Structure 1
Amino acid sequence: MKFVNTLIVCAPAVSALWPIPQTYTHGDSVIFINQNTPISYNGKQATLSSVSTNSFASATYGSAANGSVTSAQIIGAAVQRTYQTIFNQNYIPWKFHHRNSDFEPSSNSSGAVVKSIKLVQNASDPADVGRPLVGSVDESYTLDLTTDGSVVISGKSSQGIAHGLTTFTQLFYKYSGGGAYTPLAPVSITDAPKFPYRSLQMDVARNYYPVTDVLRMIDAAAYNKFNHFHLHATDSQSWPLEIPSLPNLTSLGAYRKDLIYSASDLQQIQQYGATLGVEVVVEIDSPGHTASIAYSRPDLIAAFNSQPDWDAYAAEPPSGTLKLNSPAVYDFLEQVYSDLLPRVKPYTSYFHTGGDEVKESAYLLDDTVNSSSDAVLQPLVQKFVDRNHDQIRANGLHPLVWEEMLLQWNLTLGDDVLIQTWESVTDSVAKTVAKGHKALAGNYNYWYLDCGQGQWLDFYPNISASYWPYADYCSPRKNWRLMYSYDPLANVPANSTHLVVGGVVAIWSEQVDSANLDRMVWPRAGAAAEVLWSGAKDASGQNRSQVTASPRLSDMRERLLARGVMAEPIQMVFCLQDGESCGEVNEG
């Protein structure tokens, strides 16, 4: 018996894959898997339990440049994660079967086991496989598991094969008697992403996170088939990113001298991501959101911490923006980028220069400008951005900016610049592609994970009542169903959809730190991950069904828990065990 590309919701048994593949058929035969299952990569032999990131060195396809990760390292890491996931980070799926049911195979009496796993890369990786440009790596894969236990995962790139291995792990469940099994053989999958740029963004400036938190987020992102991780590294509140040639930036600008990301920390974060197929893109936001620079270089910042009228000069306290017409600012940026860009280049092809929420009024307090006139400011912002982007290009990288640089300031930007949109759900992406630029979708009304926590600002008694009940600017909280309904291609003409290259789901940190990070991000970010991998619409052109998605996302949540990610539940166990019982079919 076979089921095609669906979950039979009236029977709680899980055939869950997340994100959902393009095509997926499975049967109902049970096969176990052993830790010493033979595995090969283009003829190079090993066993599942013995592979290291260098085991397949002689099978490398493509070569790494400037210290970037190699194809063999990507494959080696993917096999290691496969072993770790199936045998050490797995779970017993009792929540997805009727209560007190005897859902597990009684034993492996049939003797059916996975006999071999064959990884076949049938094209050479591009040289930049560890730091790819959008669309330069073919991430497609096929996966076939037969009832006699033969597995073949093929793809045109090491990243495609790594995705196939990730999917392979989701076929297996922990067995209470030891080991792991799949109840779904035979399996046949053909898969590829809808969008080539799929990113999770993490703000590490407003609150500090240990490196282990960042690595855990990257690991979870990779398991959801994100392939970028946007590190919002600095902001007005703190500068935690070490610039070794400018030590006072962190020693004075970080919240505390030890709450920093050293040069070796950043390298660890980027290398870890690249090995998992996740390109870590660093952002130094400017010219706004830069007040923390004033703690070490007050001469560079205008309107610093203006109180109590900070909101006249900035989106949030403390106010402060880089002066727009200052040679000292240009010299400073030259030094920051000269220090940082060569260090990030081995692991990414992109660098984010920010550009959001720049308030014209701040430049009334800029002694190099003394004006808030757009006619005065626009050419200065153009010159500022040109300077930064020229240096980024000179270091072999491609710039990203927030949408305001294009849509508000009307800058002339290079064709190589990616535009990250976030404001208007109906206009931002469409207006960006109408100007001929590649867009990243990520509207705050859908894909901001921190919304709905209420205000973090305090209100004085004379105005407090007018802000009651103290909702934040992007309330309410964006539940996974709303995030799942967001279509990055909405309102984009058919002849321009190719310019929408992906999207970014963001966690900002005004009210998030290590204590609540995991539950604020997961599994809701997975809803965006499936939209970006599988598309917002199903084969019939309709929004994907919540009814069939919720058990799969709940399965992903259990798998994240097994990986040490404290993801929150999306439904109670009753709903998971009873199939469609929690589906609403009537209008309220």
Structure 2
Amino acid sequence: MHPKSEGQSAFPLTSNGRGIERNRMSITLTTESDETKMSLNSDESYSLSVTSAIIGSSVKVQVQIYGATFFGVRHGLESLGQLLAFDEENECLQIVAEAEIEDRPAFKYRGVMVDTSRNFIPILNLKKVVDAMSYNKLNVLHLHLTDSNSFPFYSKRIPYMTTYGAYSASQIYTPKDLKDLILYARLRGVKIIPELDLPAHVGNGWNWGPLMGLGELAVCVNAEPWRQYCGQPPCGTLNVINNYTYLVMGELYKDMLEVFDNDLFHMGGDEVFFPCWSSRQDMRDWLKNRGTNDYMDLWGYFQGRAFDKLIEANGGKYITPIVWTSDMTNRARHFLHPSDYIIQIWTGATQYEVRELLENKYKVIFSNLDSLYLDHGFGTWLGLDHFWTIKTWQNLYDNDLIKIAEHHLGANSTYYAITTGQILGAEVTLWSEKVDQHNMEMKLWPRSAAFAERMWSSPQNRTITVDARLAHHTNRMKNRGIHTDRLQPESCYQISGYCHDSNSRL
């Protein structure tokens, strides 16, 4: 939303033919970096200055934007747009007469996750998500590309994945489609990271192995009654004792890394349901032959091989993997070394596991479900499961990562965790059980805009001015074609501040 600035009265910039002089604005953009590919450590800082001078009967406005990188310059341009307004009565643009802004993000990872497996989201609609992210200075679009429901990512090395896993021939992401989306996003200051969720959350798309002589690549696929085999239907978990599984997985990693050429890769890793594996004699025998009866050892064996396959697919070069919090991050962290992995926290912000991850120096991304799950609160798709309270924009705005860390670590250790980059940032999540291209925008916006200000400036408190600023920014997004949810009646926008409930908690 609005950056902090020092401003004076506004000047009109265009003539309406009613006696207003045509004023001029010149914009100078400067960067000393030739970086065109965003990484986790890209410098997104910028400075912006607006000066004006009266020359005769007209005004000359000069704008200078300096960015450490192209991405910083883009943020400066977004802030410039927030200093402009259209005067309907005089039919002209207006801009503040003077402004000086020095700006940089509080957190380097400011993300949005979209689930494209449970319901397919067309590329055109993903581009609109990118557009809105750029308007809010959000910089990571995380695509949960595959799940047990469907496998829409087309693999040129293993085309059977979409043959058996896509909902239809028209609901597939080709490499060409995705590369187009990635370039579109990069030009708007957004990087895209893929998720291949393993070893759980697989099924449809992995069920062709026996027909090709590779044996079962996944087990418990579409098993019933599903509650005995997985956390959510349709069921499916990788067959992690089948060597062909790793052959296929390695080829998929190669295909994805060729398309998504960046420094991060999401390996999934959540909700492994041991009763699926324990229902099989071959899995029980595998553990017995290794002198253990703990299925966490089987999961750890998989994770080690998966990590090796990912590095191998990346030409032997290290790429940073991200995994969700899980039973492994809770009680078997020795399989996940802090120097190797980023942990994405989806459990509650106050749970003890969060403290342990921070104390053990894991780099973390917060997606705590008590504040950042955008799909919650719209009714349930399955019995009474996942019947959570709706997350208002206030919930997202108040999800202060510094306060969460201080709750677990205290002020001094939190300062260290922030300054060393251990707390990378946060990501809102839009799981798509009840989401598709027709309703996703209103579930994302403007709540994600409130989240974006939290991630960019990390304000100490929420004040009454946020309400008016968010309402104004929501209108700005609507005018730029984003179908946002409505915050309040139009009258509250026009008489800003009069609709605030003085008894409500700020």
1:131 paired to 2:38 = yes
Deviations 1:175-226 (A, max 9, x none): 4478752252212211110001111110011001111001110111111101
Letter in 2 for 1:242: Y
- Of 369, 391, 410 in structure 1, the residue corresponding to residue 312 of structure 2 is 391
| Corresponding residue number in structure 1 for 2:342 | 418
User: RMSD value over aligned CA atoms?
Assistant: 2.3
| Corresponding residue number in structure 2 for 1:361 | 275
- Of 392, 403, 409 in structure 1, the residue corresponding to residue 325 of structure 2 is 403
Letter in 1 for 2:428: V
- Of 474, 480, 488 in structure 1, the residue corresponding to residue 393 of structure 2 is 480
Report the CA distance shift for 1:368/1:436 in structure 2 as closer, same or farther (over 3 A): farther
- Of 419, 437, 453 in structure 1, the residue corresponding to residue 362 of structure 2 is 437
Q: Secondary structure at the match of 2:231?
A: coil
Kept in 2: contact 1:291–1:320 (CA 8 A): yes
Kept in 2: contact 1:351–1:392 (CA 8 A): no
1:565 paired to 2:476 = no
| Corresponding residue number in structure 2 for 1:447 | 372
Letter in 2 for 1:293: G
- Deviation of 1:316 (Å): 0.6
Kept in 2: contact 1:522–1:568 (CA 8 A): yes
1:554 paired to 2:478 = no
- Deviation of 1:528 (Å): 1.1
Within 5 A, what are the aligned runs for 1:112-511?
Answer: 112-114=23-25, 116-121=26-31, 123-126=32-35, 129-132=36-39, 134-135=40-41, 137-148=42-53, 149-176=61-88, 180-297=92-209, 299-308=216-225, 310-345=226-261, 348-366=262-280, 368-370=282-284, 373-374=294-295, 376-391=297-312, 394=316, 397-404=319-326, 405-410=328-333, 411-413=335-337, 415-427=339-351, 428-457=353-382, 459=383, 470=384, 472-473=385-386, 475-492=388-405, 493-494=413-414, 495-497=416-418, 498-511=421-434
Within 5 A, what are the aligned runs for 1:47-62?
Answer: none
Paired with 1:283 and 1:179, the residues of 2 have a C-alpha distance of 47
| Corresponding residue number in structure 2 for 1:25 | 6
Paired with 1:205 and 1:296, the residues of 2 have a C-alpha distance of 19
Paired with 1:322 and 1:512, the residues of 2 have a C-alpha distance of 26
Report the CA distance shift for 1:440/1:483 in structure 2 as closer, same or farther (over 3 A): same
Paired with 1:303 and 1:191, the residues of 2 have a C-alpha distance of 51
- Deviation of 1:386 (Å): 3.0
Report the CA distance shift for 1:179/1:417 in structure 2 as closer, same or farther (over 3 A): farther
Paired with 2:92 and 2:279, the residues of 1 have a C-alpha distance of 65
Report the CA distance shift for 1:108/1:30 in structure 2 as closer, same or farther (over 3 A): farther
Report the CA distance shift for 1:165/1:33 in structure 2 as closer, same or farther (over 3 A): farther
Kept in 1: contact 2:50–2:99 (CA 8 A): yes
Paired with 1:112 and 1:402, the residues of 2 have a C-alpha distance of 54
Paired with 2:164 and 2:391, the residues of 1 have a C-alpha distance of 36
Paired with 2:19 and 2:255, the residues of 1 have a C-alpha distance of 58
| Corresponding residue number in structure 2 for 1:93 | none
Report the CA distance shift for 1:587/1:399 in structure 2 as closer, same or farther (over 3 A): closer
Flag structure 1 segments of 5+ consecutive residues without an equivalent.
1-17, 35-104, 460-469
Kept in 2: contact 1:285–1:353 (CA 8 A): yes
Q: Secondary structure at the match of 2:454?
A: helix
1:579 paired to 2:504 = no
- Deviation of 1:431 (Å): 2.7
Letter in 2 for 1:583: H
Q: Secondary structure at the match of 1:294?
A: coil
Report the CA distance shift for 1:314/1:280 in structure 2 as closer, same or farther (over 3 A): same
Deviations 1:441-488 (A, max 9, x none): 11111111110121201x5xxxxxxxxxx4x52511101011111012
Letter in 1 for 2:33: S
Report the CA distance shift for 1:378/1:236 in structure 2 as closer, same or farther (over 3 A): closer
Letter in 1 for 2:378: Q
Worse-superposed segment, 477-486 or 549-558: 549-558
Kept in 2: contact 1:303–1:366 (CA 8 A): no
Paired with 2:246 and 2:482, the residues of 1 have a C-alpha distance of 42
Within 5 A, what are the aligned runs for 1:65-104?
Answer: none
Report the CA distance shift for 1:577/1:175 in structure 2 as closer, same or farther (over 3 A): closer
Letter in 2 for 1:26: G
Report the CA distance shift for 1:279/1:375 in structure 2 as closer, same or farther (over 3 A): closer
Letter in 1 for 2:43: D
Q: How many residues align?
A: 472
Paired with 2:504 and 2:447, the residues of 1 have a C-alpha distance of 25
Paired with 1:312 and 1:169, the residues of 2 have a C-alpha distance of 54
Letter in 1 for 2:255: D
Kept in 2: contact 1:194–1:534 (CA 8 A): yes
Paired with 1:391 and 1:528, the residues of 2 have a C-alpha distance of 36
Paired with 1:176 and 1:579, the residues of 2 have a C-alpha distance of 18
Q: Secondary structure at the match of 1:433?
A: helix
Kept in 1: contact 2:472–2:493 (CA 8 A): no
- Deviation of 1:339 (Å): 2.4
- Of 497, 519, 523 in structure 1, the residue corresponding to residue 442 of structure 2 is 519
Kept in 1: contact 2:349–2:404 (CA 8 A): no
Report the CA distance shift for 1:106/1:28 in structure 2 as closer, same or farther (over 3 A): farther
Paired with 2:170 and 2:342, the residues of 1 have a C-alpha distance of 34
- Of 462, 465, 468 in structure 2, the residue corresponding to residue 544 of structure 1 is 462
Worse-superposed segment, 412-421 or 350-359: 412-421
- Deviation of 1:580 (Å): 2.0
TM-score w.r.t. structure 1 length? 0.76
| Corresponding residue number in structure 2 for 1:532 | 455
Q: Secondary structure at the match of 1:190?
A: strand
Paired with 2:236 and 2:431, the residues of 1 have a C-alpha distance of 19
Report the CA distance shift for 1:314/1:490 in structure 2 as closer, same or farther (over 3 A): farther
Worse-superposed segment, 336-345 or 423-432: 423-432
Letter in 2 for 1:119: L
Kept in 1: contact 2:471–2:487 (CA 8 A): yes
Paired with 1:420 and 1:474, the residues of 2 have a C-alpha distance of 22
Paired with 2:299 and 2:439, the residues of 1 have a C-alpha distance of 40
**Aligned residues with identical type, % of pairs:** 29
| Corresponding residue number in structure 2 for 1:96 | none
| Corresponding residue number in structure 1 for 2:410 | none
